[in-house]
Amino acid sequence: MTHGGPGPGYPQQQPGWQPGQQPHPPQQYPVPPGYPQQGQPPYPVQPPPPQQEPPLTLPGWGAIPAVLGVLLAVLGLFAFKWAGDAAFGDVSAAVREAARNATDLTASDRWVKVYLGQGVFIALALAAIPPALWSLGTLRSRESIKSRGGLTKKSLSEGRTGPTRIMLSAIAGLCLLYHVVTLLIMTDGGRHLGSLGPGPWLLVVGTALSVAGAAIGPRVPPRHPGWRPR
């Protein structure tokens, strides 16, 4: 019995198709420029932005004693009396004049002469300025560390502030010791400390506050998770 063709519901054969032959793959059409290729995301994937390095230091609580120390030390040196009615300039001029007229100066005399000539200004600058700048958080970026990091540049670049705190506190502490020892020499071993005016005492107190400001230091902001120093 012959059949005229496939029955109803039976898929029609395509012309030229033989049984067992695989169907032709779908025809690929060219993709216009700017459109994503097949299998690609519809939009280009942007790389994540580089992680911004946080500042190393910010103004901290140490700035309060450090700045106050600078103010008191400067006022004590230039604005208040040092002995009786004599200001620092008067005391310094009298000591230098006596040293020029003296035929034999002792070690203590030379010590006081140097202190009243240049030593007190050097000690004031070393004890007051670096702790104030440090506690105010001026070392924030790697550029500032490279230009003003000094001996602790390497540790600061690694994110460690402890060595800088120790170094600045030690320098200010030595300046404080220099002031105290000189005042004791000037007053015959401390027997005439009562003859000193408020100027030297303000200088000593201001230097002590600078030591505290250097030890407390700036505020160190927290690092983002996964951040590593470069």
Task: Note whether 112 and 185 are within 8 A (CB).
Answer: yes
Over residues 82-110, the pLDDT tens digits come to: 988 899 999 999 888 888 887 788 888 89
Q: Is the dihedral of CA 158, 161, 165, 166 positive or negative?
A: negative
Q: Give the model's pLDDT for residue 123.
A: 96
The one-letter amino acid code at 124 reads L
Q: Give the model's pLDDT for residue 220.
A: 81
Residue 102: half-sphere exposure toward Cβ, Cα within 13 Å? 13
Classify residue 96: in a domain, yes or no: no
Helix axes 162-186 and 198-216, enclosed angle (nearest 10): 170
pTM here is: 0.71
Domains identified in the chain, total number: 1
- Which residues, given as ranges, of the chain have pLDDT below 50? 226-227, 229-230
Q: Give the model's pLDDT for residue 216.
A: 94
Classify residue 228: in a domain, yes or no: no
Q: Give the model's pLDDT for residue 5.
A: 54
Classify residue 188: in a domain, yes or no: yes
Helix axes 63-78 and 120-135, enclosed angle (nearest 10): 160
The one-letter amino acid code at 216 reads I
Over residues 33-62, the pLDDT tens digits come to: 555 555 555 556 666 665 566 677 889 999
Classify residue 79: in a domain, yes or no: no
Classify residue 133: in a domain, yes or no: yes
Classify residue 23: in a domain, yes or no: no
Q: Residue 7 to residues 1, 17, 70: CA-CA distances in angstroms?
A: 15, 18, 106
Classify residue 187: in a domain, yes or no: yes
Range of the domain at 195: 109-220
Classify residue 64: in a domain, yes or no: no
Distance CA 209, CA 62 (A): 9
